[in-house]
Amino acid sequence: MASLVAQAAPPTASTHRWFPYRPIDAPLANAAQLTAVQVIENGDFILSFSSDVDPICTTGTAGNGSIQKNRLYFRAGYEDLSAAAVKSLLATALLGLQGGTQILVMYNFTTGTCDGRYLTAVKK
């Protein structure tokens, strides 16, 4: 299984989780799929998945005002990410929209925005 990892400084286990969580040898077929990459005008971006990430995640709202819990936000100045790191992570995220690639994301679950920190692109 080949993988590409873009990451910042190491996080602590008490504040970060991987999504979608799965045992390392488990098949990727049942994992949540990346459905969209939304780039914000300042260079930050939001990843949307086929299922909810975490009940605490409240990154965005739908047009009807309901909270969307299937999103993770990557932004400069958060989770030790520089603007250059966000660009690198965006390039990795775009791989996830191509067939045959699974994106695994480490995020901070202690904030409502569930800011992303690491991305791993894994070939299925």
pLDDT tens-digit readout, 42-54: 999 988 888 888 7
Question: If pLDDT is split at 50, 70 and 90, which confidence band does 88 have?
Answer: very high
Domains of the chain: 3-123 (2.40.50)
- Where is pLDDT greater, at 114 or 30? 114
What is the pLDDT averaged over residues 6-21?
60
Through-space distance between the first and last CA atoms of the chain, rounded to whole angstroms: 7
For residue 115 the two structure tokens come to 């800011």
Taking phi over 0 as left and psi of -120 to 50 as alpha, with beta for the rest, 116 belongs to beta
Helix boundaries (H) for 5-119: 83-95
Q: Does the pLDDT at position 62 exceed 60?
A: no
Q: What is the pTM (predicted TM-score) of this model?
A: 0.75
What is the pLDDT averaged over residues 30-59?
82
